[in-house]
C-alpha cells in the first residue's frame, strides 16, 4: 500500500515546552484511523503538525486538508453550521489525506449521520481525533496517545474501552503501592530519629554519672550535632525526593475518588428548572440561551453561571487554583485542591494557566469555578458542554451535573448528556423561532412541536 503520510522520529511539544510525544513513527496509507486519548495529551498539536509538516521525518504522498477543532465564528451562522460548511469543503477538496479534529462537535444528528457516511466511503487516508462514541464505533484502527506513550490499537471501540480500563486499574494499583511504600519509609525514618534521640539523652545521662568534665561533654555534643545535622539534611533530601516521586505519580494517574462536590449551601435554594434546549444547527439555540439569561423568555433563573462553547470566556492567564482562591480568600490551598479532586480534574491541570488548557479541560475547570462562586450560582447555563471532552471527562461531567442542586439550562446535541442531567423540560429552539417570526400562523404549531419533543425525550 502506498504511504500517503509518514513520520519518523517526530516530537511534539506544548506551547510551554512540555514534551507530549517523542520518537513518533507512523506510516498511513489509504485507511481510516481514529486518534484517541485524554484531553491535553497532544492530539490537536499532532494534527496541526501533520497538517503543517513541521515535524521531524515528515513526508506525504498527496494533498492534505485539515479541519481544526476551534473554528472562527461567522456572522449569522451557528457553530454547527460553520463546522458543517468546513467539512463539506474538505469533502469537495479532493485531498488524499483528511485531518479532522473533533468533527462532530456542535453537529446535529443529521450532520453526524452525513459525516459517518462520507468517511465510510472515503478512499484516501483519514486521521480523525474524536471522543464521540457514535463516530468511533465506525473505526477498527486507533492511534492511542497516552501519558505513558503512543501505540496503535486494532480492534473495536469496546475492545479499546476494555484495554483502557485495564490500564487504568493497573495504574491506580501502582499509585496506591507507591503511596504505601512512601508512608512506610517515612514511618521508618521517624522511628530511627526517635531512637537516636533516646540514645542521645541516655548517653548524656551516663556521661554525667561518670563525672566527665563539662568541656569534654560540650566537645562531644558539638561533634554529635555536626554529625546529626548532616544526617538530618540527607534524610530530608531523601524524603523530599520520595514525596516528589509520589506527587508525580499522583498527577500522572487518574484521580478516582468518591465524588463529593462542595456546592455552596448557604441557605435554602428557590426551585429552578432543569431545561434542555434542542434544535438543528442554525435554529438559534445559542441566541435563545442569551435571551433566557436576560430574562426575556422562560422562567426566572436567578444568579446565572454561564459556560459558553469551549469555555472561551475562561481563556485567561490565571490557573484554576488561583481563581478559586481569589474568589474565596479564606479558602486554603489544600481545600482548593480538594474541590478540584472532587470533580476528578487532575491537580496538574489546576496549576496551569486556564488559557493553556484544551477546550474540554477548560469546560471542566469552568464548572469547578461556578460550583464554588460566591455569591452562589442558582442556575448553570451550558452551551455544548461536552465540546472536546474526552470520555473520562464526559463521565465526570455527568456526575457533576447530577450532583448540582440548582437550576440547569443546557443546549446540546448529546443525547447521553440529556439523559444524565435530570431534565424537567425541553424547549425546541426552532419551534420558538418559527413562532416569533410568524406568531399568528405558527404559535400553536410551535407548541405542538415542543410537546412532541418532550414526549420523545
Same domain membership, residue 121 and residue 226 = no
Do 313 and 213 lie in one domain? The reply is: no
Domain co-membership, 414 together with 305: yes
Q: Are residues 147 and 170 in the same domain?
A: no
Residues 347, 428: one domain?
A: yes
Is position 116 within any domain? yes
* Per-residue pLDDT tens digits for 402-429: 888 889 999 998 888 888 888 888 888 8
HEC-encoded secondary structure of 232-262 = HHHHHHHHHHHHHHHHHHHHHCCCCCCCCCC
Q: Is the pLDDT of residue 289 over 70?
A: yes
69 assigned to some structural domain: yes
Nearest to 126, CA basis, from 108, 148, 100: 100
Does residue 187 share a domain with residue 44? no
Q: pLDDT tens digits, residue range 113-136? A: 999 999 999 999 999 999 998 999
pLDDT-wise least confident of 91-105, 110-124, 222-236, 402-416: 222-236
Which of 217, 252, 287 finishes a domain? 252
Assess whether 437 and 329 both reside in one domain.
yes
Max distance between CA atoms of the chain, in angstroms, equals 112
Judge whether 265 lies within some domain: no
One domain for residues 127 and 182: no
447 band by pLDDT with thresholds 50, 70 and 90: very low
258 within some domain: no
| Cα–Cα distance measured from residue 401 to residue 108, given in angstroms and rounded to the nearest whole number | 22
pTM here is 0.66
Q: Is 96 within a domain? A: yes
More confident residue, 49 or 282: 49
Statement to judge: residues 23 and 126 lie in one domain: yes
Query: Per the structure block, which three cell numbers stand in for 361?
Result: 479541560
In this prediction, residue 98 carries a pLDDT of 97
Instruction: Determine, yes or no, domain membership for 93.
Output: yes
Q: In 202-337, which ranges are E strands?
A: 274-278, 304-307
d(CA 421, CA 399): 9
Phi/psi at 31 (5° precision): -150, 165
The answer as to whether 36 is a domain residue is: yes
If asked whether residues 150 and 182 sit together in one domain, one would say no
Return phi, psi of residue 218, to 5°.
-65, -35
Provide the number of structural domains found in the chain: 3
For residues 404 and 422, give the distance between their C-alpha atoms in angstroms, rounded to a whole number: 10
Asked whether residue 147 is domain-assigned, the answer is yes
One domain for residues 205 and 150: no
pLDDT, the chain, mean: 80
Residue 449 pLDDT: 45
**Which of 94-103, 215-224, 344-353, 388-397 is least confident?**
215-224
Asked if residues 294 and 283 have their Cβ atoms less than 8 Å apart, the reply is no
pLDDT digits (tens, 9 = 90+) for 36-72: 988 878 899 999 999 999 998 899 988 999 999 989 8
Task: Give tens-digit pLDDT for 148-206.
Answer: 678 889 999 999 988 988 887 776 677 667 666 766 776 777 788 777 777 766 665 66
* Co-location of 304 and 424 in the same domain: yes
State residue 220's pLDDT score. 60
CA dist 12 → 7, 44, 45, 61 (Å): 12, 10, 7, 22
CA distances from 373 to 157, 305, 370, 385, 426 (A): 38, 9, 5, 18, 27
Q: Look up the CATH number of the domain holding residue 52.
A: 3.40.50.300
Domain assignment of residue 234, given as a range: 166-252
Amino acid at each position: 500500500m502506498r504511504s500517503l503520510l509518514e513520520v519518523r522520529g517526530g516530537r511534539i511539544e506544548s506551547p510551554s515546552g512540555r514534551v507530549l510525544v517523542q520518537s513518533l513513527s507512523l506510516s498511513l496509507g489509504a485507511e481510516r484511523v481514529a486518534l484517541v486519548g485524554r484531553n491535553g495529551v497532544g492530539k490537536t498539536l499532532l494534527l496541526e503538525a501533520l497538517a503543517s509538516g513541521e515535524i521531524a521525518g515528515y513526508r506525504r504522498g498527496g494533498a492534505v486538508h485539515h479541519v481544526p477543532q476551534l473554528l472562527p465564528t461567522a456572522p449569522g451562522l451557528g457553530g454547527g453550521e460553520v463546522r458543517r460548511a468546513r467539512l463539506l469543503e474538505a469533502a469537495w477538496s479532493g485531498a488524499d489525506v483528511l485531518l479532522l479534529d473533533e468533527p462532530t462537535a456542535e453537529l446535529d444528528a443529521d450532520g453526524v449521520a452525513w459525516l459517518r457516511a462520507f468517511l465510510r466511503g472515503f478512499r484516501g487516508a483519514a486521521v480523525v481525533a474524536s471522543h464521540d462514541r457514535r463516530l468511533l464505533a465506525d473505526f477498527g484502527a486507533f492511534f492511542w496517545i497516552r501519558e505513558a506513550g503512543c501505540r496503535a490499537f486494532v480492534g473495536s471501540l469496546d475492545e479499546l474501552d476494555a484495554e483502557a480500563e485495564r490500564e487504568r486499574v493497573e495504574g491506580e494499583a501502582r499509585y496506591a503501592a507507591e503511596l504505601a511504600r512512601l508512608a512506610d519509609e517515612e514511618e521508618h525514618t521517624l522511628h530511627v530519629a526517635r531512637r537516636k534521640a533516646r540514645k542521645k539523652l541516655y548517653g548524656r545521662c551516663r556521661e554525667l554519672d561518670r563525672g566527665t568534665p563539662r568541656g569534654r561533654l560540650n566537645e562531644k555534643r558539638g561533634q554529635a550535632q555536626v554529625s546529626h545535622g548532616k544526617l538530618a539534611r540527607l534524610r530530608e533530601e531523601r524524603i523530599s525526593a520520595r514525596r516528589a516521586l509520589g506527587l508525580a505519580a499522583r498527577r500522572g494517574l487518574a484521580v478516582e475518588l468518591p465524588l463529593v462536590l462542595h456546592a455552596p449551601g448557604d441557605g435554602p435554594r428557590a426551585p429552578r428548572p432543569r431545561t434542555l434546549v434542542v434544535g438543528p444547527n442554525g435554529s438559534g439555540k445559542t441566541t435563545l440561551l442569551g435571551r433566557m439569561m436576560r430574562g426575556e423568555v422562560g422562567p426566572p433563573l436567578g444568579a446565572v453561571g454561564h459556560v459558553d462553547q469551549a469555555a472561551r470566556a475562561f481563556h485567561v492567564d490565571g490557573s484554576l487554583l488561583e481563581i478559586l482562591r481569589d474568589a474565596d480568600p479564606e479558602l486554603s490551598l489544600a481545600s482548593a485542591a480538594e474541590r478540584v479532586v472532587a470533580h476528578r480534574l487532575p491537580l496538574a491541570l489546576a496549576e496551569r494557566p486556564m488559557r493553556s488548557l484544551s477546550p474540554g479541560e477548560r469546560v471542566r475547570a469552568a464548572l469547578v469555578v461556578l460550583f464554588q462562586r460566591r455569591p452562589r450560582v442558582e442556575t448553570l447555563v451550558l452551551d455544548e458542554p461536552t465540546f472536546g471532552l474526552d470520555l473520562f471527562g464526559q463521565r465526570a461531567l455527568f456526575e457533576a451535573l447530577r450532583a448540582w442542586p440548582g437550576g440547569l439550562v443546557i443546549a446540546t446535541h448529546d443525547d447521553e448528556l440529556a439523559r444524565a442531567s435530570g431534565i424537567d423540560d425541553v424547549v425546541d429552539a426552532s419551534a420558538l423561532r418559527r413562532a416569533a417570526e410568524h406568531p399568528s400562523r405558527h404559535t400553536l404549531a410551535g407548541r405542538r412541536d415542543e410537546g412532541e419533543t418532550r414526549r420523545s425525550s
